[in-house]
């Protein structure tokens, strides 16, 4: 885990709540301006992790980063 920035966090389903549209909006939309986010995935095959980052093309918000564990 030491290869990732400390502000990365593991995805937990507990943080998603509400109906599917609310969840989808939480995933895809900028929480500041509501624009669709550009999401990048970097796969780390050595550690079997996917590092996800999202940036808003409108306001530059990029506060969402997650690490997925590949199973
Ligand atoms: Zn934005």
In angstroms, what is the span from residue 58 Cα to ligand 1's centroid?
A: 5
In angstroms, what is the span from residue 49 Cα to ligand 1's centroid?
A: 27
> What residue ranges do the domains of the chain occupy?
9-69
Q: What is the pLDDT of residue 58?
A: 93
pTM over cut 0.75: no
Q: What is the pLDDT of residue 63?
A: 65
- The neighbourhood of ligand 1, an ion, using CB within 5 A, equals 30, 32-33, 35, 56, 58-59, 61
pLDDT tens, per residue, the chain with 71 residues: 445 555 556 566 555 566 766 666 666 788 889 888 888 888 888 888 888 888 899 999 876 667 778 77
Segment holding 18, helix H or strand E: none
């Amino acid at each position: 885990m030491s290869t990732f920035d400390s502000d990365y966090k593991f995805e937990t389903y507990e943080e998603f709540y509400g109906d599917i549209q609310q969840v989808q909006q939480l995933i895809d939309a900028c929480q500041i301006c509501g624009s669709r986010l550009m999401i990048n995935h970097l796969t780390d095959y050595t550690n079997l992790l996917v590092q996800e980052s999202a940036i808003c093309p409108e306001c530059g918000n990029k506060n969402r980063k997650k690490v997925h564990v590949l199973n």
